[in-house]
Amino acid sequence: MISEISDLFRKDLIFIIDEKNAEDIFKNIGKVLFNKGLVNEGFIDAIIKREKEFPTGLNLNVLDNDEIIPNVAIPHTESEYCNSKNIVVVKLKNEVLFKNMIKPEEELKVKFIFIILNDMKGKQTNILSNLIEFLMKKDNIINLNKLEDTNEIYNYILNKT
Amino acid sequence: MIRILAACGAGVNSSHQIQVAIENEMKKRGYDVKVDAVVMKDITPEMLSKYDIFTPISKPKLGFEIKIPVVEAGPILYRIPAMAEPVYDQIENIIKKSNK
């Protein structure tokens, strides 16, 4: 089931960066995606705006867990700003605040960003649900958090999706 | 038939997932429902008046008074029963009260 999304990850679309806020993350990664031709010039502004209006932080500690799981965000924007179908993985050296997708008044410290790129309207549904299924498997994010190398992160995700 | 309107930021991702999940679960519980998914910013009072229940991803800020029952459906997206069940139960309670 999840294997539907494994093709969407790419070795060169895994990043480990240090930024202070969501906007800086989108500017930094957005520029790289633009240079690779994966998004158009409207993407950065669009995703910043979307995240402000409809945040995408996911609290992964909604169930009782023995250990705290780092939270994630799953930013995405309208298909018109994307030229491809991919999932971009960003690990943050230091946590950044995102608002909770289902409770926008609540702020979450986020350690991983999974940016969904999709140039096909209406086809993002399965990507989103499959990605969330991967994220909700408790050990996945805990294990990813221990990896400090983008190749290792890529290989781990490929094994688990 | 009960008509339900789901909504999120882009109208294709989260709301579509909410749409499918509610339709499946309510059918399983024996109710005749039809769920549509839209972009939050496209919603008008006229559009809402055609529905029995509104299920946005989170607390809606539409800028006008919502006259139908609202159930925040975001927890469904987590794909775990412990989060989704309370949402389905709320929807079922509203359907029962509506006598449709």
Q: What is the CATH number of the domain that holds B37?
A: 3.40.50.2300
| Closest-CA residue of chain A to B8 | A54
User: How many CB atoms neighbour CB A94 within 10 A?
Assistant: 10
pLDDT value of residue A122: 61
Residues in B lying within 8 Å of A, measured between beta carbons: 8-10, 12-14, 16-17, 20, 40, 57-59, 72, 74-75, 77-80, 82-83
> pLDDT, tens digit, for every residue of B85-98?
999 999 999 999 98
Tell me which H or E stretch contains A127: helix A124-136
Provide the 8-state DSSP code for A102. S
- Give mean pLDDT, residues A23-29: 98
More confident residue, A128 or A20: A20
The whole-number pLDDT of residue B35 equals 97
User: What is the per-residue pLDDT across A46-93, written as a single tens digit (0 to 9) for each?
Assistant: 999 999 999 999 999 887 667 889 999 999 988 889 999 999 999 999
A76 touches chain B (CB under 8 A): yes
B17 to A116: CB separation less than 8 angstroms, yes or no: no
CA A92 to chain B, closest CA, distance in angstroms equals 22
Q: What is the pLDDT of residue A125?
A: 58
The distance of B27 to chain A (nearest Cα, Å) reads 20
B44 exposure class (CB count in 10 Å sphere: 0-12, 13-18, 19+):
exposed
> Phi, psi at residue A3, to the nearest 5°?
-55, -15
Q: Of A18, A14, A3, nearest to A152 (Cα)?
A: A14
Q: Is the ipTM of this complex over 0.90?
A: no
Q: Give the tens place of pLDDT for each residue, A33-47.
A: 999 999 999 999 999
In this structure, of A1-5, A140-144, B15-19, the range with the lowest mean pLDDT score is: A1-5
pTM of the model: 0.90
A118-152, pLDDT tens digit by residue?
888 765 557 888 899 899 887 999 999 999 999 99
Q: Any CB–CB contact under 8 A between A77 and chain B?
A: yes
Among residues of chain A, what percentage have pLDDT more than 70?
Answer: 95
Q: Which residue is associated with the tokens 């139908």?
A: B68
The 10s digit of each residue's pLDDT in B29-48 is 999 999 999 988 899 999 99
Q: Which residues of B touch A63 (CB under 8 A)?
A: 80, 82
Model confidence pLDDT, tens digit, residues B54-100: 999 999 888 899 999 999 999 999 888 889 999 999 999 999 998 76
Instruction: Please indicate if any CB of chain B lies within 8 Å of the CB of A71.
Output: no
pLDDT of residue B11: 59
A3 touches chain B (CB under 8 A): no
Query: What pLDDT shows up at residue A1?
Result: 44
Number of structural domains (chain B) is 1
* DSSP H/E element including A115: strand A107-117
Q: Which domain holds residue B93?
A: 2-98
Closest residue in B to A58 (Cα) is B78
Does A160 have pLDDT greater than 70?
Answer: yes
Contact across the interface for A54 and B82, Cβ inside 8 Å: no
Q: Which of A54, A116, A133 sits opposite B8 (nearest CB)?
A: A54
pLDDT value at B22 more than 80: yes
Q: Which residues of B touch A79 (CB under 8 A)?
A: 12
